[in-house]
Amino acid sequence: MGWIFDKEWLAYTVDVKPGVYDLLVRVATPVDTKKMNVSLDGKLLVTVKIPNTGGYSKWQTLTIKGVKVPSGKVLKWESIVKSKEEFDINWIEFVPAR
Protein backbone atom coordinates (compact mmCIF):
# COMPACT_ATOMS: atom_id res chain seq x y z
CA MET A 1 0.00 0.00 0.00
CA GLY A 2 1.45 3.36 -0.93
CA TRP A 3 1.01 7.04 -0.36
CA ILE A 4 0.09 6.65 3.32
CA PHE A 5 -0.55 9.96 5.04
CA ASP A 6 -1.33 11.00 8.64
CA LYS A 7 -4.18 9.16 10.37
CA GLU A 8 -4.75 6.67 7.56
CA TRP A 9 -5.29 3.15 8.82
CA LEU A 10 -6.21 -0.40 7.89
CA ALA A 11 -7.73 -3.13 10.04
CA TYR A 12 -7.51 -6.87 9.44
CA THR A 13 -9.14 -9.88 11.03
CA VAL A 14 -6.33 -12.09 12.34
CA ASP A 15 -5.82 -15.26 14.32
CA VAL A 16 -2.79 -14.62 16.55
CA LYS A 17 -2.31 -16.61 19.73
CA PRO A 18 -1.25 -14.71 22.87
CA GLY A 19 2.49 -14.61 23.39
CA VAL A 20 5.67 -12.67 22.72
CA TYR A 21 6.45 -11.99 19.08
CA ASP A 22 8.91 -10.16 16.90
CA LEU A 23 6.95 -7.84 14.62
CA LEU A 24 8.30 -7.55 11.08
CA VAL A 25 7.15 -4.58 8.98
CA ARG A 26 8.16 -4.00 5.34
CA VAL A 27 8.28 -0.25 4.56
CA ALA A 28 9.76 2.28 2.14
CA THR A 29 10.13 6.08 2.34
CA PRO A 30 12.69 8.77 1.50
CA VAL A 31 11.72 10.79 4.60
CA ASP A 32 12.64 10.55 8.30
CA THR A 33 10.28 10.83 11.29
CA LYS A 34 7.48 8.52 10.20
CA LYS A 35 5.68 6.32 12.72
CA MET A 36 2.74 3.99 12.91
CA ASN A 37 0.79 2.49 15.76
CA VAL A 38 -0.03 -1.22 15.72
CA SER A 39 -2.94 -2.33 17.91
CA LEU A 40 -4.98 -5.46 18.53
CA ASP A 41 -8.64 -5.10 19.48
CA GLY A 42 -8.02 -1.45 20.36
CA LYS A 43 -5.02 -2.11 22.62
CA LEU A 44 -1.80 -0.47 21.46
CA LEU A 45 0.91 -3.10 20.98
CA VAL A 46 3.73 -0.90 19.71
CA THR A 47 4.60 2.35 17.97
CA VAL A 48 6.91 1.63 15.03
CA LYS A 49 9.48 4.27 14.04
CA ILE A 50 9.91 4.17 10.27
CA PRO A 51 13.36 5.26 9.09
CA ASN A 52 14.37 6.82 5.80
CA THR A 53 14.94 3.78 3.57
CA GLY A 54 16.34 5.81 0.67
CA GLY A 55 13.23 5.99 -1.50
CA TYR A 56 9.73 4.74 -2.18
CA SER A 57 11.07 1.74 -4.07
CA LYS A 58 13.82 0.92 -1.55
CA TRP A 59 12.11 -1.51 0.79
CA GLN A 60 13.40 -2.32 4.25
CA THR A 61 12.11 -4.91 6.72
CA LEU A 62 12.01 -3.54 10.27
CA THR A 63 12.11 -5.94 13.23
CA ILE A 64 10.55 -4.88 16.52
CA LYS A 65 11.55 -7.49 19.08
CA GLY A 66 9.63 -8.72 22.08
CA VAL A 67 6.11 -7.42 21.37
CA LYS A 68 3.66 -8.78 23.95
CA VAL A 69 0.48 -9.81 22.15
CA PRO A 70 -2.76 -10.57 24.02
CA SER A 71 -5.57 -12.56 22.47
CA GLY A 72 -7.48 -10.62 19.87
CA LYS A 73 -9.01 -10.64 16.43
CA VAL A 74 -8.71 -7.17 14.88
CA LEU A 75 -5.21 -5.98 13.98
CA LYS A 76 -5.04 -2.30 13.08
CA TRP A 77 -2.16 -0.10 12.02
CA GLU A 78 -2.47 3.69 11.86
CA SER A 79 0.04 6.14 10.44
CA ILE A 80 1.50 9.00 12.45
CA VAL A 81 2.99 11.40 9.95
CA LYS A 82 4.00 14.91 11.00
CA SER A 83 4.58 16.27 7.51
CA LYS A 84 3.00 16.10 4.08
CA GLU A 85 5.41 13.35 3.07
CA GLU A 86 4.14 9.81 3.08
CA PHE A 87 5.44 6.27 3.39
CA ASP A 88 4.65 2.90 1.82
CA ILE A 89 3.97 -0.40 3.58
CA ASN A 90 4.14 -3.83 2.01
CA TRP A 91 3.31 -6.25 4.83
CA ILE A 92 3.26 -6.97 8.58
CA GLU A 93 4.16 -10.32 10.13
CA PHE A 94 4.23 -11.72 13.67
CA VAL A 95 7.03 -14.23 14.28
CA PRO A 96 7.24 -16.06 17.64
CA ALA A 97 10.14 -14.54 19.63
CA ARG A 98 13.05 -16.79 20.45
CATH number at residue 75: 2.60.120.260
Q: Which pTM does this prediction carry?
A: 0.89
Question: Count of domains in the chain?
Answer: 1
CB 67 within 8 Å of CB 95: no
CB atoms under 10 Å from CB of 80, counted, come to 15
Domain presence at residue 2? no
In a domain, 40, yes or no: yes
Q: How confident is the model at residue 86 (pLDDT cuts 50, 70, 90)?
A: confident
Domain membership of residue 67 (yes or no) is: yes
The answer to whether position 45 is within a domain reads: yes
Pair 25, 67: CB distance under 8 Å: no
pLDDT tens for each residue of 21-80: 999 999 999 988 789 999 999 999 999 999 999 999 999 999 999 999 998 899 999 998
Which domain covers residue 56, as residue numbers? 9-96
Side-by-side strand order, sheet with 72-81: 9-16, 72-81, 34-40, 43-50
36 within domain boundaries:
yes
